[in-house]
Amino acid sequence: MATSYHYLERRLLSSECLISNAFLCRTVNLPGSWQLTPITSENRLTATSCHFCFLFAQMPASSQPIDFSDDQIGMHKKDPEKRVFVNRNMRLEKIKFFGFDMDYTLAIYKSPDLESMAFDLIKERMISIGYPEHLRSFKYNPIFPVRGLWFDYLYGNLLKVDGFGNILVGMHGFTPLTPQEIEELYPNKFLHLTDKRVYVLNTLFNLPETYLVACLVDYFDNSPDFTLSTDKTGVKSGDVVMTYRSIFKDIRNAVDWVHFDSDMKKTIINNLDKYVERDDRAVQLLEQLRQSGRKTFLLTNSDYWYTNELMKYLVGENWTEYFDITVVDASKPKWFADGTVFREVDTTTGALKIGIHAGPLKRGVVYSGGSCDAFRRLVKARGKDVLYIGDHIFGDVLRSKKARGWKTFLVVPELDHELTVWTDRRPLFEQLRELDTLMANIYRNLDGNTRDKPKIDDILKNIKGVTHEMDQEYGVMGSLFRSGSRTTFFASQVERYADLYASSCYNLVHYPNFYFFRAPMTLMPHESTVDHSSIMHQKPESLKKQNSVGQQVRGWTRMMSKSTTFCHEEDEEDQDGPSSNSDNEPVEQVHKRERSHSEESSESLNQTDVLVPNPSYVDVD
């Protein structure tokens, strides 16, 4: 028995138990006790239907059930900065093609150095088209901007919203909007994304312009030469009117100029140590994938010259040998729709070779343009066997998921900072939990007959204060993923479209290539707030007869099933709907809603990674 127990302890602390023939479940009528039982033909259904169980491999067939307590159970988890987090189940062994974006994915830019340089270039461009020289005094401040904000260019407000468009936080320049001001400008504190007044600042590239927007709104609102217009949509000076819409349009044009026509890329290449992180895990990851027999491809919007210089710095002179297919000038997200034709790049001159490439895509050859349809035909990719890794929630993740059914991995560099606050500021979160508990206890013995309203103003004030203090730990605009207890628009997009996400794509080196990424159970409030030890004291008559429904269903399942199903969750990844068609199936036309003005005006950015070419974009360990 001692030998069996120590064997069990080792298996409990292992993260490699992937093929199971034993299950762990609560011991009946013995709280705090667990039992490890070999799976047999008689109890197999019990094992699969167990609400909370661990599965283990290679338990000796002769072993008897083993009992042990809660405090002997351990679940290994990697260090937070090394982890890949899971929204939907994924078996890496089913992935045949690993695709990578380059900018902010394989190439991680140093922050705030790159943002500061881009900010300076944008403001210089604004001055060159007639904006005041005073703009030169603006210095980029990384504590202010956060991704995922909506800019309402009708009233000049930066808005942090949830996944439904409810406004969580508002900022006009550097002045926070009060709840009353938000209610006045936005009835019901709500704004719809399709309104032709919204631009979503969703990418890492948007951080400099987010801060510049705030700088300019603050400058013109407080300038003695300008007064606020009566409809609050801009400022005026004599006969000159400047709307927030026109100011933002000038910023957008300046941003496009910086990335299309300035020397920004040359500055980066000439100062790679200053602007680009070199991660030793880059070669390690690509080597691991190659040795496991997986196909890899690079799909970037950057041109060949910039891609070549950056990849040589990251991987080495022979960087193309690490990819089975290399595509530059991809023009994402259009690449996932109509796209263009594949053309071969002359790697000596960087120019495109004449003619359209129609043959197979070869290792060591660099291609330009193309489309997802052509790519799929040429490499025989189904869609579900492709994992694409990128940083752009729209250009990389959303489009590849919705249009093509690819598996998706979102790179979120800010995650390291988010996790640092989450772990280092634990007392704040515990304080908020204590206040919630205090609130619950005040209402504990009150019911519909209670007439005396309890005094909770002080508690609400404290909750608001702690929440504000928590948000400040992340930055002026708070966390990327939440505001207080409510998740943001960006967080909702991550949950919906990213199967996996992590602070770096290189975190994959910490997982075996057959790893099963299993998403944690998503609990609804009636599940997350009701403990399993709770007892239903008063059951309606109609429910009392259903006490044995579980046994009835299990009997029905045994009778109806043609084959034993062991784990339904394993097939979750293949049930995403019509977007996951194979090559032999016609692709259903995706319903297209009318594009909002913000999407049209941001098309040039939505097609880019970070730098664009000139025209010729909880794991369970």
The catalytic residues are 101, 103
Half-sphere exposure of 595 (CA within 13 A, CB side): 9
What's the rounded Cα separation, in Å, for the pair 609 and 330?
A: 10
Q: Which of 434, 483, 435 is nearest to 459 (CA)?
A: 435
User: Could you identify the residue written with the tokens 């062991």?
Assistant: 566
Is 321:363 a contact under the CB 8 Å cutoff?
yes
What's the rounded Cα separation, in Å, for the pair 215 and 212?
A: 5
298: Cβ contacts below 8 Å, ≥ 6 apart: 99, 100, 102, 106, 307, 311, 323, 325, 326, 327, 328
Amino acid found at 443 = Y
What DSSP assignment string belongs to 334-376? GGGTT---EEEB-TTT-PBPSS---S---TT-EEEE--HHHHH
Is 18:57 a contact under the CB 8 Å cutoff?
yes
Q: Which residues of 424-455 are buried (b: 16+ CB within 10 A; e: fewer)?
A: eeeebeebbeebeeebeeeeeeeeeeeeeeee
Is 243:233 a contact under the CB 8 Å cutoff?
yes
What's the rounded Cα separation, in Å, for the pair 371 and 341?
A: 7
What's the rounded Cα separation, in Å, for the pair 397 and 401?
A: 6
Is 326:298 a contact under the CB 8 Å cutoff?
yes
Is 423:473 a contact under the CB 8 Å cutoff?
no
Residue ranges of the alpha helices (H) in 545-595?
Answer: 549-560
Is 466:428 a contact under the CB 8 Å cutoff?
yes
